[in-house]
Structure 1
Amino acid sequence: MDLNTVTEIRDARHPAPWRPGDAWLGGGTYLFSEPQPHLRRLVDLSRTGWTPVHRHPDGALEIAATCTIATLSRYAKTLPDPAAPLFEQCCRAFLASFKIWNMATVGGNLCNALPAGPMTSLTAALDGECLLLAQDGTRRRRPVTGFVTGAGRKDLAEGELLRSVTLPARSLACRTAFRQASLYGLGRSGVLVIGALDPLDGSLAVTVTASTVRPVRLWFPLPPTAAALRAAIGSAVADDEWFDDIHGLPAWRRHMTFRYAEEIRRELGEAAR
């Protein structure tokens, strides 16, 4: 879709004062998908030259906001870590054509803050941390579970930029389990639950996305009982935090979340034993 109110595209490599009507341009798959009458200038990140995925000496994985879904998928195939299969599972959870897959970015998916955003699911489940850059150069870090605060809401100030997401080495060493549900084949996720079992201490993290308005990550020092897991989810998700749209009613999303969480508890609990 043409954005006929945009009068300028600025290269992000050349800083200039942020002004009303500005927006960051990554892959553009959301910006150009619907009218944006409030926009006047796009700040293009495509030439920043950020390394899409970088492995730190301590084993942590830093994913640039400009990394495309296709690039992340290809990179994940080379990962030797136990959590590597989860990357492809989440990349494939996109409701997207090959064109979108090759243009959509990890940062864009996170900043859209849609409940069904699979990059939110992936990075929240692996205890990811966002690096945010303000216009004055100030840096701050937020866990993904605190960055996405609701449906379409994120902890991002005016002009602030999501630079990257870092996944700790310990999370990459986890054995994972993945469950996803949609109301129709190849449809948008209505429920997505991920479990991550830590091989070092036997702890279990269960992350709920798509069915809730924000990512919910629950950590247990040991795999819990079925009753304890159900109680923890019920306590963590308020009644009005079960997402409600055309892709699924709250009651269905809640039911499937409990069902999948229990399946994951059994699968990874048996692995722990």
Structure 2
Amino acid sequence: MEKIMGAIFFLCGIIAIVFVLFISVYLIISGLPAIREIGLIDFLFGTKWASTAAEPQFGILPFILTSVYGTAGAIVLGVPVGLMTAIFISKVAPRKVAGIVRPAVDLLAGIPSVVYGLIGMIVLVPAVRTVFGLPDGATLFAAIIVLAVMILPSIVSVSETALNAVPKEYEEASLALGATHIETVFRVSVPAASSGIAASIVLGIGRAIGEAMAIMMVAGNVANMPSLFRSVRFLTTAVASEMSYAAVGSLQRNALFSIALVLFLFIMLINVVLNSLLKKSRDK
């Protein structure tokens, strides 16, 4: 029985690897032709995207910068809130309160992206327009807020699990030395759970940079250079918004596959860098 189960686990692992390799090869084969035709420099560093113009241009620098700024903004807003929520649930809140807050956070993870986008479009976008006196509230700022809310469940769940895994002896020793409960939480528990907290941030980054539907509804989906209060387009929304009407075999369609390839490599690079940092942190 153990040999059979071992073979099943091995097969499942191989299948997962094959899927990743298949996606990688498919994106490379589909994305390279457009990059060769447009030119790598013009494609990556061009500032104008006009795929349906009489003289089409395929510069994706605005999409790259928008994705970077939007993800960074979501992390800046979402990580402190998510970490504090995890600390509250794990170390501060009474059991009854924690029993209410935890399911509410889990419920956030189950809400479809389109619902976040719909609420953002109906509530957040008009509010941004009114508060800041803008002609249109569908901006990078609105997208950052929506993304910050969407990454909260990942950060809270993984961080809470890491905090709960900290040995009680660490905290008891800190309290025995005269530290207060809050001092123990921030100077002992949080540092001891740092690798798990960092892993939650990695998951949050992956969720933020890969989101399409919600931000398409609140960001305006216009190929502008990124600015906090302008309508913008992300790498993901560029592919999602044009793929449905791009002619098969056209340069526009191939360029969209090239955007998907850039996004794929971008996410892979972020994962490699962050996992390397996590490994160094664990080794220390």
Task: Identify whether the pair has TM-score above 0.5, normalized to the shorter chain.
Answer: no
Query: Which has the larger share of strand?
Result: 1
Query: Which has the larger share of helix?
Result: 2
| Higher relative contact order, structure no. (Cα contacts within 8 Å, ≥ 6 residues apart) | 2
Normalized against structure 2, the TM-score is what?
Answer: 0.23
